[in-house]
Structure 1
Amino acid sequence: MNVIVAGAGRLGTQIAQVLGAAQNRVTLIDRDDDRVAALRGHVPAELYWGDACEPGVLEDAGAGAADLLVATTGEDEDNLVISLLAKRQFKVARVLARVNDEDNAWMFTPHWGVDTAVPGAAPLISLIEEATSATDTVALLRLSKAGVDVIETTITTHSRAAGRTLGELAVPSGIVVTAVVRGGEPLAPAPDLRLREGDELLIVSHTATESEVHAVFQ
């Protein structure tokens, strides 16, 4: 998936880190050249300096080939302009935009090119879930300092884990299933819990990669 993240603040950088780690092609744009320079080599994304409110900047950054654009600047008016350009001029299929001031939330609609509005107070995991709803396994949060990954995977009809209990799965050491969410309700991951289509598993690991987790459950 080709992703453009407009705004390299804390939230935008975290989104770029997570989506880049999940093997998406990410371009992170910011108009602060010092911030862009400081992030080079530290984020799995292409860094681009410029104002994403300008059509030429979005075009040069690859908006014409983007599958997803996430506008995460600290200014609502900028996020709206970026969203409108992305949708109307570059025909980006999916546009997410951060709402910094809840009083402005009413404007974040498809009329302004916004497919999904995300409140500024929403946790990173919620935003990543919105951004990657078509992906069955994605690193939601990379806790690099602790050396721990939090990974989510969703059971489908074709998953090898469908219809099997957690105890029947050959889960490698270093992978811990911390919760199973079924119909919006969290379930304790007991060994006799039989997995169903639609179950969402939250997994913690300090050794396994997303592909290794996918191999166990999908």
Structure 2
Amino acid sequence: MKVLIAGAGRLGTQIAQVLGASHNDVTLIERDDDRAAALRDTLPARVEAGDACEPVVLERAGALTADLVIATTGEDEDNLVISLLAKRQFAVDRVVARVNDAENTWLFDQRWGVDTAVPAAAPLVSLIEEATSAADTIPLLRLSRAGVDVMETSISARSRAVGRALADLSVPAGTVIAAIIRDGRPTAPSPDLVLATGDEILVVSHSATEDEVRAVFQ
């Protein structure tokens, strides 16, 4: 997935770190030249200096081919402008914007190009879930010290796992199916549970990659 992140504050750099480490093609845009320079070679992402409110900067960063734009600046006005440009001028499929001031929440909708508005107080993992919900397999939480990843994969109508029992699936070594979420409710992953379209699978692993998990269910 090709991702553009506007704003290299704490939140923007954390998202770049997580999504970049998950093998996404990430570009982080920062208008402060010194900060942009300091971040280069420290993140698994390309860092572009410039004001993301300017179309030429977004285009240079790759907005024409981006799958996702995340506006995380500290100014709601900037996040709205970035969202509108991403959606209207560059036809980006998914636009996520941070709302810094709760009183401005009503503005953050599709009239301004925002697909998903995320409150500033939302935890990082929640924002990443919202940002990447278009993907069928995403890392929800990377517990690097423990060497454990928690991933989620969604079952679509085309998934090879539809209609198959969990016992019939061969998951990678060191991987456990933690829960099945069906109709918004978690279900214990019993061996005879048959997967259906719309199911969400939570997987815990210390060694499997996202591609390996995807191959089991997709």
TM superposition score normalised by structure 2: 0.87
Q: 2:145 maps to which residue?
A: 145
- AA in 2 matched with 1:129: E
- Give the Cα separation in 1 of the matches to 2:172 and 2:42: 30
| Deviation (angstroms), 1:34 | 4.2
Q: 2:56 maps to which residue?
A: 56
| Deviation (angstroms), 1:155 | 1.7
Q: 1:161 maps to which residue?
A: 161
| CA spacing shift, 1:156–1:58, aligned 2, 3 Å | closer
- Give the Cα separation in 2 of the matches to 1:152 and 1:103: 32
Q: 1:209 maps to which residue?
A: 209
- Is the contact made by 2:6 and 2:28 (CA closer than 8 Å) also made in structure 1? yes
- Consecutive unaligned residues of structure 2, counting only runs of 5 or more, are none
- Identity within the alignment, %: 70
- Is the contact made by 1:18 and 1:140 (CA closer than 8 Å) also made in structure 2? no
Q: 1:30 maps to which residue?
A: 30
TM superposition score normalised by structure 1: 0.87
Q: 1:105 maps to which residue?
A: 105
- AA in 1 matched with 2:188: A
- Is the contact made by 2:172 and 2:213 (CA closer than 8 Å) also made in structure 1? no
Tell me the matched-pair count: 218
| CA spacing shift, 1:214–1:64, aligned 2, 3 Å | closer
Farther-moved stretch of structure 1 (35-44 vs 168-177): 35-44
In the TM superposition, what whole-angstrom CA distance separates every residue of 1:29-75 from its partner, at most 9, and x where no partner exists? 11234443343334322111222123332232122332321101122
- AA in 2 matched with 1:144: S
Local SS of the residue matching 1:158? coil
Local SS of the residue matching 1:106? helix
Q: 1:185 maps to which residue?
A: 185
Query: In angstroms, what is the RMSD of aligned CA positions?
Result: 2.2
- Consecutive unaligned residues of structure 1, counting only runs of 5 or more, are none
In the TM superposition, what whole-angstrom CA distance separates every residue of 1:105-127 from its partner, at most 9, and x where no partner exists? 01112222222212222333433
| Deviation (angstroms), 1:156 | 2.4
| Deviation (angstroms), 1:96 | 1.3
- Give the Cα separation in 1 of the matches to 2:93 and 2:127: 17
In the TM superposition, what whole-angstrom CA distance separates every residue of 1:137-176 from its partner, at most 9, and x where no partner exists? 1223323333221211112233332222223322233112
- Give the Cα separation in 2 of the matches to 1:54 and 1:157: 40
> Does 2:171 align with 1:171?
yes
- Is the contact made by 2:165 and 2:194 (CA closer than 8 Å) also made in structure 1? yes
> Does 2:39 align with 1:43?
no
Q: 1:17 maps to which residue?
A: 17
Local SS of the residue matching 2:37? helix
